[in-house]
């Protein structure tokens, strides 16, 4: 997939403001960003359902505006909101969907058995979808997206709303697909998900790409190796007293975050100055630190 200056406008609102992207075959690529950053709009353009309003876009070597159906025949799409037919059985959902890709009944039937196994849904195959748990429906949506053996799989917030067990199972399945050579494009606002799944990612904010790289590169570039968290009773913390102990200090209502290469050393230095926090924690920098630094802590809806 290849995009140059890709843009999407809805009336006066610019959802995607000219982004450049390249995703290579076999890669797992992530879009990170707060709500409204333009991730889903970008995904819908790549999925060839939403026409772009500016720039260039090539998916699997073709232009979505001219070759939408041909591209879609080789894509798998897991939308943000499930759109299964809840009045059909699990198996029927796969059968009906597979037929839309021009596949024969016999092939779809055999493929459905394989995918139900893959999604651990074999024992629910002939149950209606309606009463299934959120995790099962999500697994079914992923299974359905694989019915045409896609080369490129688009997952829009695949694990939002799932419990930890269901998330880990889904990640495991996505890893396997990646090993089979399927290209994955994932949007998420879970940092652990991005770190788990993505070789490379971009952080989007307000319709633009604000950072790009592997999880490790992003941490190296936008954060420090470690973070020292010092927790204080409200109103007793003093930023000025520790400002020179770290490359950057962030003040939150009940704690100070010291971004530093060596958290233990910074903690020792703070103790030496007679600073006595209620508690302290030295941890590795995560993508979450990068994300919050780039997109801010203000609530976005």
Can you give the binding site for other proteins, defined by CB under 8 A? 10, 47, 49-51, 68-70, 72-75, 77, 79, 81-88, 92, 95-97, 99-104, 106-107, 144, 148-150
Q: Is 35 exposed, middle or buried (0-12, 13-18, 19+ CB in 10 A)?
A: exposed
CB of residue 267 to other proteins, shortest distance in Å: 51
Nearer to other proteins, 70 or 168 (CB): 70
CB of residue 49 to other proteins, shortest distance in Å: 6
CB of residue 103 to other proteins, shortest distance in Å: 5
- The owner of tokens 């796969």 is 94
Nearer to other proteins, 93 or 223 (CB): 93
CB of residue 51 to other proteins, shortest distance in Å: 6
Eight-class DSSP state of 230 = E
CB of residue 92 to other proteins, shortest distance in Å: 6
Q: Is 285 exposed, middle or buried (0-12, 13-18, 19+ CB in 10 A)?
A: buried
d(CA 138, CA 170) in angstroms, rounded, equals 9
d(CA 201, CA 30) in angstroms, rounded, equals 4
Nearer to other proteins, 93 or 260 (CB): 93
Nearer to other proteins, 74 or 200 (CB): 74
Nearer to other proteins, 78 or 256 (CB): 78
User: Of 179, 173, 122, which is closest to residue 146 (Cα–Cα)?
Assistant: 173
Using an 8 Å Cβ cutoff, are 192 and 284 in contact?
no
Copy the structure tokens of residue 54.
């500016």
């Amino acid at each position: 997939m290849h995009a140059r200056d890709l843009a999407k406008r809805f009336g006066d609102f610019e959802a995607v403001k000219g982004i450049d992207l390249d995703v290579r075959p076999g890669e797992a690529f992530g879009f990170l960003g707060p709500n409204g950053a333009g991730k889903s709009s970008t995904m819908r353009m790549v999925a060839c359902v939403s026409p772009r309003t500016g720039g260039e876009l090539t998916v699997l070597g073709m232009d979505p505006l001219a070759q939408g159906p041909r591209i879609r025949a080789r894509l798998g799409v897991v939308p943000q909101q499930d759109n299964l037919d809840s009045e059909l059985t699990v198996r029927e959902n796969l059968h009906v969907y597979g037929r839309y890709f021009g596949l024969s009944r016999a092939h779809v039937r055999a493929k459905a058995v394989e995918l139900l196994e893959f999604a651990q849904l074999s024992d629910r195959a002939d149950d209606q979808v309606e009463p299934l748990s959120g995790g099962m429906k999500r697994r079914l949506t992923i299974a359905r997206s694989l019915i045409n053996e896609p080369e490129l799989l688009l997952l829009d917030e695949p694990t939002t709303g799932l419990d930890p067990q269901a998330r880990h199972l889904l990640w495991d399945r996505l890893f396997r697909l990646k090993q089979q050579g399927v290209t994955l494009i994932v949007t998420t606002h879970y940092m652990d998900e991005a770190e788990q799944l993505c070789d490379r990612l971009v952080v989007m904010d307000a319709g633009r790409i604000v950072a790009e790289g592997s999880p490790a590169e992003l941490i190296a570039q936008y954060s420090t190796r470690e973070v020292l968290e010092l927790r204080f009773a409200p109103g007793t913390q003093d930023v000025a007293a520790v400002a020179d102990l770290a490359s950057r200090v962030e003040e939150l209502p009940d704690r100070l975050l010291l971004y530093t290469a060596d958290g233990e050393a910074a903690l020792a230095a703070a103790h030496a100055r007679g600073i006595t926090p209620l508690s302290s924690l030295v941890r590795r920098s995560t993508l979450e630190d990068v994300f919050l630094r780039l997109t801010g802590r203000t609530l976005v809806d």
